[in-house]
């Protein structure tokens, strides 16, 4: 806990100050984050049946996980040492080195994994570690290169709150999936037609993907607009709108009940149409990237793009404090849905 306290104390005193290359803060934070994530990854290797999700294990594979862990351990050590050399405050570098050392002592990337017993449900710690690492590597440089608000720092106010939501949404991913699939099957399973689904799967893959995005967005638009219209549902959705600073991490600030309800609603049409696994996998990638990107602190000059797909510029207006935009731009993927239903608004 002292490592976390060190990071928290350092962030409270220096987190909102801009990073400067050469002062050692960047290396310190990177070392601490990589060290702590490496330690969590080692725990995943020790207890894969409880801390990893079988569906995701099949995607990233054991070899990739071991190589990524090895690189993270080495990088944490190197950056921690650099922090000691360049920065008068050594806590972050020490945090990274100590966490990495414990990870190595516990087995590092050489922990043997043979047969993984099946468990009724597990915590998606592996999904949290990989998603956080990949998202940070992609979106932090993107936000710095194409900032909507250049004055907003990486460690802006309330970043720890959003990180906690990020952890919960990823750690409980299997629970949410089980609940959503069970609910969707119960509500629409009786109407599923194998003949209709076989016809859908015979459609070219690219068309299936576009159709999946369309029907899912129609479902999510309906649910999203309902959250804004029904008072007691708004109480749950208000958690998401409580974020005062938008970036790649802020999109995860959602009430757990809203997450389960929304995903159940989206699964209903997807289950009914019965798209091919390839089309569904493509949709999952699209919605995952767009959900993060639409909240990111980025801005692109191609304003016409906001009329074709939901961009950060498009969705940021939905989060605006201006009352004229309070009930506008509900779509998640396609602005044309807002155009059809009269809720499209771009200045």
Q: What is the pLDDT of residues 296-338, one digit of tens each?
A: 999 876 778 888 999 998 999 999 988 888 899 999 999 999 9
Which helix H or strand E contains 153, and what residues bound it?
none
Give pLDDT, residue 26: 80
Cα 166 from chain centroid (whole Å): 6
Secondary structure letter of residue 19 according to DSSP: P
Residues of the chain with pLDDT under 50: 1, 3, 7, 10-15
Give pLDDT, residue 86: 77
Give pLDDT, residue 12: 46
Measured CA angle at 77 (ends 71, 83), to 5 deg: 130
Give the E-state strand segments of the chain in sequence order.
none
The owner of tokens 């599923």 is 192
Give pLDDT, residue 274: 94
Give pLDDT, residue 7: 46
Give the residue among 292, 314, 294, 290 at the shortest CA–CA distance from 303: 314
Give the residue among 297, 81, 261, 243 at the shortest CA–CA distance from 176: 261
State whether residue 298 is helix, strand or coil: strand
Residue 298 has phi, psi (to 5 degrees) of -130, 160
Residue 298's DSSP bridge partners are 147
Structure tokens at 70: 């090895």
**Sign for the pseudo-dihedral over CA of 346, 264, 258, 255:** negative
Residue 293 near residue 312 (C-beta atoms within 8 A): yes
Task: Give dist(CA 202, CA 200) in Å, integer.
Answer: 5
**Sign for the pseudo-dihedral over CA of 314, 320, 322, 326:** positive
Measured CA angle at 179 (ends 289, 160), to 5 deg: 50
Task: Give dist(CA 59, CA 320) in Å, integer.
Answer: 37
């Amino acid at each position: 806990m002292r490592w976390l306290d060190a990071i928290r104390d350092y962030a409270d005193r220096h987190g909102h100050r801009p990073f400067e290359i050469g002062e050692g803060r960047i290396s310190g934070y990177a070392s601490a984050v990589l060290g702590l994530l490496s330690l969590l990854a080692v725990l995943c290797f020790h207890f894969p049946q409880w801390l990893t999700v079988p569906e995701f294990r099949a995607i990233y594979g054991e070899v990739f996980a071991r190589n990524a862990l090895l690189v993270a351990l080495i990088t944490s050590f190197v950056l921690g040492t650099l922090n000691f050399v360049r920065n008068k405050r050594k806590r972050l570098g020490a945090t990274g080195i100590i966490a990495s050392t414990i990870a190595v002592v516990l087995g590092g990337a050489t922990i043997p994994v043979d047969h993984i017993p099946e468990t009724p449900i597990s915590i998606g710690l592996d999904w949290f570690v990989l998603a956080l690492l990949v998202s940070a590597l992609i979106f932090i440089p993107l936000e710095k290169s194409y900032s909507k608000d250049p004055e907003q720092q990486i460690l802006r106010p309330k970043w720890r709150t959003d990180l906690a939501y990020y952890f919960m949404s990823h750690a409980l991913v299997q629970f949410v999936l089980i609940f959503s699939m069970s609910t969707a099957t119960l509500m629409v399973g009786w109407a599923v037609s194998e003949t209709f689904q076989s016809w859908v799967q015979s459609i070219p893959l690219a068309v299936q993907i576009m159709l999946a995005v369309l029907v899912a967005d129609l479902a999510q638009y309906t649910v999203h607009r309902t959250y804004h219209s029904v008072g007691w549902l708004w109480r749950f959705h208000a958690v998401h709108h409580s974020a005062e600073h938008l970036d790649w991490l802020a999109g995860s600030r959602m009430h757990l009940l809203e997450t389960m309800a929304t995903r159940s609603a989206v699964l209903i049409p997807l289950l009914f149409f019965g798209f091919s696994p390839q089309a569904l996998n493509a949709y999952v990638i699209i919605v995952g990237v767009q959900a993060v990107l639409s909240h990111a602190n980025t801005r692109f000059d191609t304003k016409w793009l906001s009329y074709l797909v939901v961009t950060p510029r498009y969705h940021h207006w939905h989060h605006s404090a201006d009352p004229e935009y309070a009930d506008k731009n509900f779509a998640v993927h396609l602005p044309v849905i807002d155009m059809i239903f009269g809720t499209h608004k771009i200045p």
